[in-house]
A and B are shown apart, each in its own frame.
Chain A
Amino acid sequence: MTDVVCLEAAGRRFGQGHTAVVALHPTDLAVGEGELVAIMGPSGSGKTTLLSLVGGLDRPTEGHVLVDGQDVGALGARDLARLRRHEVGYVFQDLNLLAGLTARENVSLPLELDGRPTREAGAEAMTALASVGLDQLAERYPDDLSGGEQQRVAIARALVGGRRVLLADEPTGALDSITGESVMRLLRHHCDGGGTGILVTHDAAHAAWADRVVFLRDGRVVDEARPAPPLG
Chain B
Amino acid sequence: MSVRYGLLAILAEAPNHGYQLKTDFERRTAGSWQLNIGQIYTTLQRLERDGLVEPLTASDRHAATAAEPRGAEARTAGPRADERHAYRITAAGRAQLEAWLDQPVITEGPPRDELTIKVLLAVAAGDIEVTAILQRQRTASVEQLQAYTRRKAQADPERDLALLILLDALIFRTEAEVRWLDATEARIRQR
Contact = CB atoms under 8 A, between A and B. Distances in A.
12 contacts: A42-B186, A177-B168, A204-B179, A208-B142, A208-B145, A215-B139, A222-B135, A225-B140, A225-B143, A226-B143, A227-B147, A228-B143
Given A205-B172, A205-B175, A223 B143 contact: no
A209 B149 contact: yes
Interface string A200-228: 00111101111001010100001111111
B142 A207 contact: yes
B165 to A, nearest CB: 12
A203 B172 CA distance: 11
Contacts, number: 64
Given A202-B182, A204-B178, A225-B139, 6 more contacts: A185-B153, A209-B149, A213-B142, A225-B140, A227-B143, A230-B147
Q: In this complex, which of B136, B145, B168 has the most chain A Cβ atoms within 10 angstroms of its Cβ?
A: B145
A204 B149 contact: no
Nearest to A40: B142
A217 B174 CA distance: 21
Contacts of A203: 175
B175 to A, nearest CB: 4
Interface in B134-173: 135-136, 138-150, 153, 168, 171-172
B139 A223 contact: yes
Given A42-B182, A226-B146, A228-B147, A204 B139 contact: no
- Indicate the size class of the contact surface on chain B: 20 to 34
The binding surface of chain A is classed by DSSP as mixed
A168 B185 CA distance: 25
A188 interface: yes
B150 to A, nearest CB: 6
A36 to B, nearest CB: 11
A222 B138 CA distance: 11
Contact of A205 (B136, B139, B145, B150): B145
A203 B175 CA distance: 8
A225 B181 CA distance: 15
